[in-house]
Amino acid sequence: MNIHCNKPMIASALAVATCLATGAAAAQERPNIMVILADDLGYTDLGVTGGEIDTPNLDSLAGSGMLFTNVAVAPSCSPTRSMLMSGTDAHLAGLGLMYEMPKAPNQLGQPGYIGHLNDSVVAFPAVLQAADYSTFMVGKWHLGMDEGYLPNDRGFDQSFVMGVGGSDHFALQKGVGPDRPISPYFDNGVPVEKLPEGFYSTDFYTDRMIEYLGDGSEEPFFAYVAYTSPHWPLQAPEDWIDRYAGRYDEGYEVLLEQRIESMTDLGLFPENAPINEFVVGGNQRPWDSLSDEEKARSSRSKEIYAAMVANLDWNIGRLIDHLKETGEYDNTLILFLSDNGPDEKDPRFIWGMFPEDVHSRTQNDPDSSTGNCGFRVAYSV
């Protein structure tokens, strides 16, 4: 099948799904579709795009398939997700801006900024559902939590999702802003009162999707795996935390040079291209000007981020292994992408948008000192 698309990220999944769902082929001849979405993943975070993080499963997928290098996304989470689900511009879908962000006067009350996937667009899982595809979703929804706008209302047979833009990755359900101190989760549209013991987002979402897929008898299927990793807060399972210890002690300027060199060798970056000044200016001070504690904090945050990405890759490997075990791998189109690049914001930026009196809700925050970074007791970037 040849699919021509000017905006691979936004429209390719919709084009594939529509072609498959409306085609004349018998159901057993139609391939399954699995869309895997990372949250705030950097372009060079994967080995196949020049990164130092171990991502063998994604590298293998890219090596045996097609790597898109000119992908259009929005600069933030829910606008991109609305385009992926609808195949339209984010404004037409009602999410020209994340609902959490302050609106300009000319945006208030306008249909392009209502903050949920509106009724003017058709979510393509509903198209597949109508064509007898089994449709499953796990992970971050971020497209509306009011009645009628959850995944089970927009074409998914089964779903377990986080409704908002971010949360603690463990079972605390700690939110990313004082307006929602507890992040809401939904199991097939029903609010989840308490996450299970041992919950870690990437591991749990993988477990649940494998449960949905079962023994392969639910074909053809559409599986939307919308991981929340590696979105902050930076947290990883304990046995992953120290796997990258010391890897980033030389500083971010050295890391930048290494990644650019790798990207250039791979043909993904032009020779002698200038480095954007913001990397060593603006929000980033020269590495040598940092104190020992600042260097330790920066290195530790990158170690945890790398652990999250490596764990993400490992879990994607689990999905691939399950497809192979059930005989569905060769009949499954797998699309992997990220909603946008890394978010440099400290959570304090979001909290700072609210009146000072609500900040008292953080007085009993877990210990997020450098030594605790990454563990379930911390909430850090």
- The answer to whether 374 and 193 have CB atoms below 8 angstroms apart is no
* Residue 161: CATH number of its domain: 3.40.720.10
Please give the C-alpha separations between residue 246 and each of 88, 243, 298, in angstroms, as whole numbers. Answer: 44, 9, 11
Is 77 an active-site residue?
A: yes
Query: What is the β-pairing status of strands 174-177 and 221-226?
Result: unpaired
Q: For residue 87, tell me if it sits in a domain.
A: yes
pLDDT, tens digit, 9 for 90 and up, residues 321-372: 999 999 999 999 999 999 998 876 665 555 555 555 444 444 445 556 666 6
Domain with 241 in it: 12-20+28-372
pTM metric for this prediction: 0.89
Is residue 169 within 8 A of residue 254, CB to CB? The reply is no
From 4, 5, 19, 77, the catalytic residue = 77
Give how many domains the chain has, as a whole number.
Answer: 1
**1 vs 249, higher pLDDT:** 249
Residue 286 maps to a domain: yes
SS3 state of residue 337? strand
Residue 379 in domain: no
Q: Which two tokens stand for residue 166?
A: 């971010």
Nearest to 309 by CA among 28, 1, 58: 58
User: Is the residue at 6 inside a domain?
Assistant: no
Residue 1 lies in a domain: no
What would the two tokens of residue 252 be?
């971010």
Q: Give the whole-angstrom CA distance, residue 217 versus residue 78.
A: 32
**Do the domain assignments include residue 112?**
yes
Flag whether 321 is in a domain: yes
Judge if the upstream peptide bond of residue 233 is cis by omega within 30 degrees of 0: yes
pLDDT tens per residue, range 287-325? 999 999 999 999 999 999 999 999 999 999 999 999 999
- 209 pLDDT band (50/70/90 cuts)? very high
Q: Residue 103: inside a domain, yes or no? A: yes
Q: What does residue 221 show for φ and ψ, rounded to 5 degrees? A: -130, 155
How does pLDDT run across 143-202, given as a tens digit for each residue? 999 889 999 999 999 999 999 999 999 998 888 766 678 899 999 999 999 999 999 999
CA dist., res. 89 & res. 136, Å (int): 24
Which of 116, 142, 169, 322 is flagged as catalytic?
Answer: 142
C-alpha 338/C-alpha 321 separation (Å) is 22
